[in-house]
Structure 1
Amino acid sequence: METGAVDDVENVPHFMGINSHRKPLSRAVESMGFAMVYFELEPGETFSGGLHTHHDQEELFYVLEGTATFETKAGPGAEPETHAVGPGEFVHFERGGLYQSGGNRSDEPVVALAVGVGTPRHGWAETEVLFDCATCGEETVHDVVADDPDDERMPDPEEMTLVCTECGTVIEVE
């Protein structure tokens, strides 16, 4: 048995600077078989860097306070849908299912938990994002490539690239 407090867990904001209060609770527990992250999102902050899907994890977001807004798309060029998730509500995303991104579009803070099941940390090679490809001239699926995909920490943006699955164009993450 292990006990702990959220306040004692190291704050590890997203490497792209899109949130300021992100505490990976599962890193504080040895040998945990799933991921769990505590978020406090200020207005305009997001959970992740954009529309993406994981092939190695399913995710569940549970909102404790405020209202989080999630955007989903079935794939490139599909019409986006938005979903408001309020206190005491959750949203679940299957592995390799919808592309999703969530954040705080309100004027009040959002406090939420994210749980990822399948692996204790998602692998960058198992993540796809939707992004506009300048070469293709449209939104396409991009693979996420990290300089060191086995690195356990959140990478710096300079250590990541996006690669268009249609044409192979490489985009540096900034």
Structure 2
Amino acid sequence: MGYRVVDTDAVEPAPDRPCEQRALSEEGGLTQMAVNRFVAEPGEQIPLAYHYHDDQEEAFYVLSGTLHVETPDETYEVGPNHLFTVEPGSPQRAFNPEDADSAVDVVAVGAPPSEGDAHAYEPEQ
């Protein structure tokens, strides 16, 4: 059996991201899912850009603030203690709008973890 407690504030943020991203999977010893904590100030986007995944499911749990998620059909506003889920093949872009009153703090889970599974999505104008 294996157990770990991870202080997410002690994990160094990833460099060169459009918002604060702390990759938690490795620290937690996880191999079957990707777990990240994001803090996006007003005007910042949560990586990645507008995209979709072939195989990965995603879930965004909002700790504080309001997460905005743009999809081809609408933009969702997800508040604290709410979960937003995305099925494979479903384009989305998560962000905190410039006119937001505060940062948004989100835990994101993706499974299975995969590299090269994310594809850019260009919405029709």
TM band (smaller chain): 0.7 to 0.9
* Unpaired segments ≥5 residues, structure 1: 74-79, 133-138, 140-174
TM-score relative to the length of structure 2: 0.86
TM-score relative to the length of structure 1: 0.64
> Aligned with 2:121: secondary structure?
strand
1:50 and 1:31 mapped to 2: Cα distance? Answer: 25
* Residue 114 of structure 2 is aligned to residue 112 of structure 1: no
Equivalent residue for 2:76? 83
Equivalent residue for 1:92? 85
1:103 and 1:91 mapped to 2: Cα distance? Answer: 13
Equivalent residue for 2:18? 18
Equivalent residue for 2:94? 102
* Deviation per residue, 1:7-46 (Å, 9 max, x gap): 2212114x4x421x11011121224310110111100111
Structure having greater relative contact order (Cα 8 Å, sep ≥ 6): 2
Structure 1 segments (4+ residues) deviating >3 Å: none
Structure-2 change in CA distance of 1:27 and 1:99 (3 Å): same
Structure-2 change in CA distance of 1:81 and 1:25 (3 Å): same
Equivalent residue for 1:164? none
AA aligned to 1:10 is E
1:22 and 1:48 mapped to 2: Cα distance? Answer: 8
* Structure with greater strand share of residues: 1
* Deviation per residue, 1:22-75 (Å, 9 max, x gap): 1011121224310110111100111124211011310000101000100002xx
Identical pairs, percent: 34
Equivalent residue for 1:170? none
2:63 and 2:49 mapped to 1: Cα distance? Answer: 22
AA aligned to 1:34 is M
Equivalent residue for 1:162? none
Q: CA RMSD in A?
A: 1.7
* Unpaired segments ≥5 residues, structure 2: none
> Aligned with 2:9: secondary structure?
helix
Q: Which of 118, 121, 125 matches 1:130?
A: 121
1:130 and 1:117 mapped to 2: Cα distance? Answer: 20
> Aligned with 2:71: secondary structure?
strand
Larger Rg: 1
Equivalent residue for 2:61? 62
1:44 and 1:82 mapped to 2: Cα distance? Answer: 15
Contact 1:56 1:123 (C-alpha < 8 Å) held by counterparts? no
Question: Number of residue pairs matched?
Answer: 120
1:123 and 1:91 mapped to 2: Cα distance? Answer: 22
